[in-house]
Amino acid sequence: MHDVTAAQGIARTVLEAAAERKAHRVECISIALGAMTMIDPDQLEFWLGQILRGTHAEGAEIEIEQRPLMVRCKECGWEGEAEVPEDPIYHLMPFAPSCPRCQSKSLAVLGGDECTVQSIRVRRAEAGAETDG
Ligand SMILES: [Zn+2]
């Protein structure tokens, strides 16, 4: 359900942006997906494809950029990439990383918890393709 919810949020963002720009068709959707989200990119792409059926974004190319989980330890100041375990249990419960240096669990997340639309490329009925950064 987690992946479906994320896909629904992304679909809403994409369709709103497409409507705003009076897009005839959405050609490409670029998504930033952080490791902390525990979302399987294949699942996300699958559900997006399902949800976008019958919309202007049907059949759009989906690019998923996976981002590592970056943290800073509030205890010792260690900063870097936290390891995210490949354990399905974390799809059901929140995952709490710990500092590899002092094992503290009070970490600030610097990045890697995002699941957002970075950009979309649309085509208007009367004009050519338009890219938005
Ligand atoms: Zn630490």
The protein residues having their C-beta less than 5 angstroms from ligand 1 (an ion) are 73, 75-76, 78, 99, 101-102, 104
- Report how far apart, in Å, the C-alpha atoms of 92 and of each of 13, 21, 29, 42, 115 are: 25, 37, 27, 18, 17
Let me know if 133 is exposed, middle or buried by CB neighbors in 10 A (0-12, 13-18, 19+): exposed
Do 74 and 25 sit in the same domain of this protein?
no
Q: Each residue's pLDDT tens digit in the chain (133 positions)?
A: 489 999 999 999 999 999 999 999 999 999 999 988 889 999 999 999 999 999 999 999 999 999 999 999 999 999 999 887 776 665 566 667 889 899 999 999 999 999 999 999 999 876 555 555 5
Do 57 and 20 sit in the same domain of this protein?
yes
Do 23 and 4 sit in the same domain of this protein?
yes
Q: How far is the CA of 88 from the centre of ligand 1 (A)?
A: 26
Do 17 and 63 sit in the same domain of this protein?
yes
- With tokens 């409507």, the residue in question is 19
Half-sphere exposure of 118 (CA within 13 A, CB side): 15
Q: What is the model's pTM?
A: 0.80
Do 20 and 61 sit in the same domain of this protein?
yes
- With tokens 């699941």, the residue in question is 115
Q: How far apart are CA 44 and CA 42, in angstroms?
A: 5
Q: What is the CATH classification number for the domain harbouring 64?
A: 3.30.2320.50
pLDDT of 132 reads 56
pLDDT of 31 reads 98
Do 4 and 44 sit in the same domain of this protein?
yes
Do 53 and 10 sit in the same domain of this protein?
yes
Do 54 and 79 sit in the same domain of this protein?
no
pLDDT of 91 reads 59
Domain residues for the domain of 57 are: 1-68+112-133
Do 61 and 117 sit in the same domain of this protein?
yes
Q: How far is the CA of 67 from the centre of ligand 1 (A)?
A: 22
pLDDT of 25 reads 95
pLDDT of 80 reads 95
Domain count for the chain, please give it. Answer: 2
pLDDT of 127 reads 53
